[in-house]
């Protein structure tokens, strides 16, 4: 019985670590990085211009810039330059976004 409880406890730890996390930050671009955390109209315009010019989207939270997985790009495209709340999983320095919503003021 003790082995079963230990096995269940260890399994539960792995299950919890596989759950998605939530972050709040700004969708920026790889050229400007953390320069657009204010999420003003001018920031959004610059991010869109840089993305159009070949930069990739990044997520900035608490001063840290996270690369986005290829699957995440489509989820943040309508939110470029905006403050957002994202749910996803961090793998190294790459964020896999499952869902993204604009922050309501």
pTM: 0.79
Span 54-93, pLDDT tens digits? 999 999 999 999 999 999 999 999 999 999 999 999 999 8
Of 82, 75, 84, whose CA–CA distance to 41 is shortest? 82
Based on C-alpha coordinates, what's the Rg of the chain?
Answer: 17
Instruction: Report the DSSP pairing between strands 64-68 and 57-61.
Output: antiparallel
Whether pLDDT at 3 is above 80: no
Show me where the domains of the chain are located. Answer: 20-102
User: Cβ-count burial of 94 within 10 angstroms (0-12 exposed, 13-18 middle, 19+ buried)?
Assistant: middle
């Amino acid at each position: 019985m003790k082995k079963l409880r230990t096995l269940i406890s260890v399994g539960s730890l792995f299950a919890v670590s596989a759950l998605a996390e939530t972050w709040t930050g700004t969708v920026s671009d790889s050229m400007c990085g953390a320069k657009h955390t204010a999420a003003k109209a001018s920031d959004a315009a610059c991010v869109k211009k840089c993305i159009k010019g070949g930069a990739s989207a990044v997520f900035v939270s608490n001063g840290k810039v996270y690369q986005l997985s290829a699957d995440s790009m489509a989820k943040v495209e309508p939110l470029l330059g905006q403050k957002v709340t994202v749910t996803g999983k961090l793998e190294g320095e790459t964020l896999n976004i499952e869902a993204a919503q604009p922050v309501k003021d």
